[in-house]
Amino acid sequence: MPRSKEFLHGARDTLPLILGAIPFGIIFGALAIAAGFSTGEVMALSLLVFAGSAQFIAVSLVATGAGIGVILLTTFVVNLRHTLYSATLQPFIRHLPIRWRAPLAFWLTDETFAVVQQRYATVAASPHKHWYFLGSCLSMYSSWQLCSFVGAVFGQAVPNLAAWGLDFAMIATFTGIVVPMLRSYPQVAAAVVAGATAMLCYALPYKLGLVAAALAGIVVGTGCERLRAAQTGSAPR
């Protein structure tokens, strides 16, 4: 595919995930204003940090009077999962110059990772898959800015914004991505173990349970795949 088509497909394939993130952006903007941030500061967070969960948690911590040390430590732990995304995509982007690698890293969110890793997993040999990556990044980034702004400016006008349960939109989008990925028993085992561990470790501070759960799922999935390969006598893929 040519560059422009890769770019447009990346943006297009990210649209369902943007749908899931819209409520989060709006609620974030409203919450940040309620916590005492100015509209400029809210937009600076979205423009410069661009990490939904970390932004949410930072704003909530400020509202409870936490210090900057706690907030930065929490940001680090909440964002630890991004190192896994970074490692997963590294083999596919390692050939790119730094002027590509640095911006793509800046824009690497859960949503873009979910979409882009599927594109890199396809066998189609295209030298321009990083344009797909960029298309996903920019559509996600621009929509996040718009939603944060709407939330910051108009969020206070809607009472009980958080009581609608709009956060289910993100659960639905991530479910729609993960379920079709479950094609083999090691993949199902990885999902079940990660989900169960996430529940068991939910009480851990700073969302550490999320990273623990992902690692447990990865280990079990890989172990099952190796076990199956050993049983059937075939070499692992």
Partner 1 sequence: MNAWLMIGGMLVITFATRYSFFAWPELRFPPLLRQSLNYVPIAMLAAIVVPGMFIPDGQTLNVSWRNAYLLAGLFTVAVAAITRHLLATVVCGLAAFFLLRWMLGQLPL
Contact between 9 and 115 under an 8 Å Cβ cutoff? The reply is no
Residue 168, amino acid: F
Nearest to 225, CA basis, from 181, 186, 183 = 186
Q: Which stretch binds partner 1 (CB under 8 A): 11-19, 125-133, 137-145, 146-154?
A: 11-19
> Whole-angstrom Cα distance, residue 148 to residue 144?
6
Helix (H) or strand (E) holding 221: helix 208-232
Site string for partner 1, 122-151 (x = CB under 8 A): ------------------------------
- Output 2 or 171, the one with its CB closest to partner 1: 171
Query: Minimal distance in Å, beta carbon 6 to partner 1?
Result: 19
- Residue 187 as a binder of partner 1 (CB under 8 A): the answer is yes
- Residue 4 as a binder of partner 1 (CB under 8 A): the answer is no
Q: Tell me how many residues contact partner 1 (CB under 8 A).
A: 99
- Output 2 or 226, the one with its CB closest to partner 1: 226
Instruction: Give the footprint of partner 1 on residues 16-55 (CB under 8 A).
Output: 16, 19-20, 37-38, 41, 44-45, 48-51, 54-55
- Output 6 or 13, the one with its CB closest to partner 1: 13
Cα distances from 75 to residues 79, 129, 183, 217, in angstroms, run: 6, 30, 34, 23
Query: Minimal distance in Å, beta carbon 218 to partner 1?
Result: 4
Cα pseudo-dihedral 159, 15, 145, 20, rounded to 10: 30
Query: Minimal distance in Å, beta carbon 38 to partner 1?
Result: 8
Query: Minimal distance in Å, beta carbon 168 to partner 1?
Result: 5
Instruction: Give the footprint of partner 1 on residues 90-109 (CB under 8 A).
Output: 90-91, 93-96, 101-102, 104-106, 108
Structure tokens at 141: 């980034």
DSSP for residue 158: S
Query: Minimal distance in Å, beta carbon 108 to partner 1?
Result: 4
> Whole-angstrom Cα distance, residue 173 to residue 190?
19
Query: Minimal distance in Å, beta carbon 79 to partner 1?
Result: 4
- Is the CA virtual torsion 170, 105, 115, 178 positive or negative? negative
Contact between 27 and 166 under an 8 Å Cβ cutoff? The reply is yes
Query: Minimal distance in Å, beta carbon 197 to partner 1?
Result: 7
- Residue 214 as a binder of partner 1 (CB under 8 A): the answer is yes
Structure tokens at 74: 């929490």
Instruction: Give the footprint of partner 1 on residues 64-83 (CB under 8 A).
Output: 67-68, 71-72, 75-76, 79-83
